[in-house]
Each structure stands twice: as structure tokens, then as C-alpha cells.
Amino acid sequence: MNSVHVYEELVSVHQDADGDPEFTLALASARQDLQQHRKNMHPGYYFVGDNVDLRTKVRSMTITNQNKDQHMFQICAYENRVSGNHLDNSRPKTNIDTYNFKHLIPSEHEKKCLLSETTFLVAQQWSKFISHFLPYINVLPKYISHEYLKEMKSRTNRINLGVLMKCEQYNEDMTDICEFLHTFIPGHETNDDWQKKPDKVLSGGDYLTFERHKQAQSSKRNGRTPSKRLQGLIPKMEEFHNQAELLKVTCSQLYNTSSARNQGTLYAARNTLNSRNVTQQSSQDFYACSDLVEKVTTAYIVTGGLQYFGMDSLNSVPTKNIYNGAIGDKKEMYEYILVHASEFAKRFCVPDTPLLPEYGPQSNSLICRYCNKEYKRPKSLRKHEAKVHGHPDPLYGDTGITEITTQTSEDGVFNYTRLMLNLGLLRMNHNDAIRMGDGEHIMRINQFLVLFYKACNCPKYAYGLLETIAQTKVLLTERMAHRLIWNRTVNHRGEWDSNHPNDLDIEHCNKVFKDEAHSFRGTFTEKTVSRVSRSALSLQSVVQCFDTNCHVKKATSKHTAADFTEDILKLVEQYQKLDLFSIIPGRQHDPSFQKSKIPLFQLDMDGVRNWISASLSDYKRKHFYG
């Protein structure tokens, strides 16, 4: 009998033997053995997969010998750098029926954390570009720290499981992919043993893979055994395509060709910098659009800093909010720059996220908050709380909310500036969290992104991210939720800030496979594809090692950070003349940016609450979360 069973048996008789010295000693010894057992356990692993589309052209085309489109699926397994073995793995973290909806969207705690992180990024940009603050760059920390910084610096162990001649677009093929993956799960049973439950292993991918994965598993929910029901796999959504969706939202809100003559807009900046590779659709050139948004966001931050400190140029001295501490006192300098960066971020950079209404159901349990009476319908509960207990509710007269009157004449330029900083700094924050492998930071940003996606007509990613957040808070066990949060990135360089998303790494693996497959001159069969895919990454590492030992000169595969200083300074010079950070009623960009048109102001939070309720009910029906 192993230490887990010993500890569970002792806990089960705890009530009867409580107070017995021998029992107390045995329980302590069992707990110590259990902790040692968990410490020695394998850290676990997770899968990541993505489609590989390859088009082969024939030299001599005939009726039977035509160009071919190969649709395949590549899978890699990654060892967890953060195991979470010390956490409970027996039951979900909490009851989904009684879980309060408000915990799934940003609370005051999340807003404070976002303000703190945004403050650091603002102070970092000021210290980098404004001459007066250059000494402060040595005062600020180099990065936002977290508890697993050491683990996130370590290199990731990756094993390629091969490429399958399957297309994720078809449910039958995706089911075969899931069945293939399930054979690598500890506890997988090929017999009809319905009592044998496999371990849980996370299986990630982009949004399409995530949805197809769930559909394929749901189609097997009536299997005879847990293994045939594929209960060992837990699908999850990764972060690289989430980055792309956030960029798409940013461009859809702020990039408009009709604003060419309005200095300070994204499209005007594109023309100023002659960034001809930037298009209306960010998906056509992700990195070009990403670079432009980063340049404009940084230029806004620097321009705002100059106005905040009353400086005429990058080389002048502050005339407002002047530093009065001792020169060279690092502690006082640190507090000074952070205090003013926080004030600036609070005023311009942190989005005003709405809260869920206090009236109506707060969870799917439909229990009255005053007398604990249970109802079957939300409207019945709302009527009871309003009529019997006098709870404010707009359906029954009193809302309990004071109406806010809006100004008839707004400053559309200021509204644009604020939205640009809101979305731009969310992107910078999200990218910074990914580079550092900070899982908690990533999930915190995702809570804000759920509301932005919901408001900007991105229902798929809003639903997918809400499910990801629900997985970490309510659907999974503590151990699996911990693994999902802290194993969202990989690191192959062994540096602090060299992490990148799991699904981006599988895209890199796809490129290596395609390069190798294009040089293959035989017939494409399942056997040859599997052989080529399993050898491609190993062959690449052997060639790189050979080139290094033989001193072969070639371009490095590592990305070097581009220097955007010249472009940013050009934008700053232009933005200083526009007074972007003052409210001057009547100014407008084309198209106009009224507050009522800003995404989060359009959200119907009553509808969002109902959407969260329906989504949780949908997640509850998924058999693989049980």
C-alpha cells in the first residue's frame, strides 16, 4: 500500500481516533511520507498540437497525377517546469453551481495588480527615452518578478510525437488524434475495466484546435470505460493566437484609413513612418502591425510623460512634479518615479472595467441572498428579492444606481488617446508576462481581455478565454489548475525573458517539418510522414551542432530586438504639438470617438452576467471535467 492510500485511510478514521497520541503520530508520519512521495513524483507533461498544411506541386501533371494538398497534424509533448505535485488532485477547486460570477471578471484586486504592472512599464519607458530620467533606469528592477522565475528560466524538455495524416477540420480525424494522444496518458486502459481511471493531462492548441478537441471528446462521452471516453485529456487554449486576436481588436478600434489627416491616430502614424507593410487586416502581417502599435504606444507614453512633468523636449528639465529628494538616493528615486508613473497610469492607462449588476442571480444556484430560499428561474428570484426584501432592481422600479449625465460636447482626441493607451499597454503587459513566463500575470490580463472581446464582437475568443479562466478557478483540481496557469510558455534559450507561447513553438516545429518534407522525394505515406516528422527536429539540432564545431558562419536563428528609437522620437516630436493629454471639448478625430462608442462603455453587463451563467452551465456538461 503506497503513502497516498495510507494517508487517505488515516484521514477517513480521523473523527474516531482524534486525540489518540499514537494516531496523531501515525498521521504526521503519513503526511510526511505523502509530501516526500509528491516531491519525488514526475513533474508531469502536457501536449500541444496544431495543423500542418502542405501543398506539393508535381513536375509533370496528368489526369491522375495532380498537385496535392496535404492536411496533417503535428503533436509535441512538453515536460512541466512547474509541477504542482504538492497540491490536491482529487476534486475540483470549488462547486461550479455556487461559484460567484463576479470572480470571473476583473475585480478591484485585479485592477490594482494591473495598475502596479502598468506603472512599471510606464516608468521603464520614461527612463529609457527622457534624458532627465536616464539615471532612473538603474534604479528600477529589470523585470516584473514572480514566484517561479527560476523555473521559467530553465530550458523546456520537448519530445516530438510525430505528424499524423489527419485533419483537425473533420470530427472523425480529430477523434483519432485524441485517441492517439490518450495512449500516452498514465493509466490508459485498453481493456473493458470501467473502474480504471486514467490520469489527467492537459492538451493545448489554438482556438480551432481547442474547439475541435472538445467536440471530438464529447462525441466519445458514451464510451464503456473512462479511457474510451477519453477522460484523461483536458483541452486548453494557448496564448500566441490570443496575442493575434488582441492585435486584431486594437487595429479594428483604432486603425482607420479615413483618419489619415488626423495626427495622433494609428493610420496617420503609419503614413508618417512610411510603414507600407501595415494593412487594415492585422492577420496579413502580424509582426508589422504589432511593431506599429508598439511604436505608437511607446510614443504616447513618452509624450504623456513630457506633458506630465512640464518638459518642452526630451532633453529639458521638469518644471512640474519635481524631484525634491537627495541626489543619488536610490530608494527615494525609486519611490519618486513609481509614484508619478502610478498617477499617470491611473489617469490614462488602466481601463475602467464595469462590474456585474448587484441585482439578479450571482451564481447558478439561484438562492435568495437574504433568506436562502431556492428558485428554479432567475426572474422568480429577482422578483422575490425585490418585492420581499426590497433589493434594488430595474425590472421592479428602483435601480439603486444614480444616473450619470454625459457631456454634450466631448473631446474625441482625448478619448482616442486614452483608448490607445488602454489597449496598447494591455498588449505590452500581456507580451511582457509571456516573455517572463508569468502564468498568473497572463491569466489576470485574460480577465480584462474577456470583456474587450465581448464588447468588440469577438465571441469565440471571449467564450474560449472565459472557459480558460473557469478552468483555473472552478473546473479543474488545484494541481491541474496550477499546471495550466504556470505551463503556458516554453523556453529554449535559458534566459530570464526568452519564453514564448506553447502554440508559437509548435508553429516553429511546423516550419522545420515543412522544410524537411519539401526536400523529400518519395511518396507521402503515413509511415514516411511519421519518420520525417520525428527526425526533423533532431536532424536540425545535429546540423546546428556540426556547424558550431566546424565554425560555419551563418545567420543566427535567434531574433534580435529591432531598434525603434528613431521612429518613436519622430512620433513624439509630432505628438508634442497636439496636446493629446488635455481635455478640450469639441475636438474630434475622423471617425469621432464619443465615450458611448468606446468598447467597454457599450457593454450590457446584465447580458454579460446571463452569458456567464449560460457558459458555466455549458462547461458543467463536459464529461472530461468530471
Structure confidence at residue 5 as a pLDDT band (50, 70, 90): low
Per-residue pLDDT tens digits for 118-158? 999 999 999 999 999 999 888 999 999 999 999 999 999 99
Q: pLDDT at residue 23 above 90?
A: no
Structure confidence at residue 498 as a pLDDT band (50, 70, 90): very high
Contact 571, 269 (CB under 8 A): yes
Residue-level pLDDT at 595:
74
Residue-level pLDDT at 518:
76
Q: Provide the percentage of residues in the chain whose pLDDT is more than 90.
A: 67
223 vs 217, 227, 229, 234, 480, CA distance in Å? Answer: 10, 8, 5, 17, 24
What own/partner pairs with CB < 8 Å and gap ≥ 24 does 33-38 have? 33/3, 33/6, 33/7, 34/3, 34/4, 34/6, 34/7, 35/86, 36/3, 37/2, 37/3, 37/4, 38/85, 38/86
Residue-level pLDDT at 604:
92
Taking Cα atoms as reference points, which of 42, 94, 182, 47 lies closest to residue 487? 47
Q: pLDDT at residue 401 above 60?
A: no
Least confidently predicted of 24-33, 159-168, 559-568: 24-33
3-state helix, strand, coil in the chain (%, to 5): 50, 10, 40
Over residues 304-325, mean pLDDT: 92
| All cell numbers assigned to 620 | 458543467
Residue-level pLDDT at 549:
75
Query: Please, which residues have CB within 8 angstroms of residue 259's CB and are 6 or more apart in sequence?
Result: 265, 266, 267, 268, 589, 590, 591
Least confidently predicted of 282-291, 386-395, 553-562: 553-562
Looking up cell 464510451 gives 223
Residue-level pLDDT at 2:
54
Relative to beta strand 68-79, strand 233-237 is unpaired
Per-residue pLDDT tens digits for 591-625? 777 777 788 988 999 999 999 999 999 999 999 99
Structure confidence at residue 31 as a pLDDT band (50, 70, 90): low
Relative to beta strand 201-205, strand 233-237 is parallel
Residue-level pLDDT at 190:
85
Residue-level pLDDT at 201:
96
Q: Provide the percentage of residues in the chain whose pLDDT is more than 70.
A: 90
Q: What is the CA radius of gyration of the chain?
A: 28
527 vs 73, 203, 533, CA distance in Å? Answer: 14, 24, 10
Cα separation, 334 vs 340, whole angstroms: 10
CA 380 to chain centre: 37
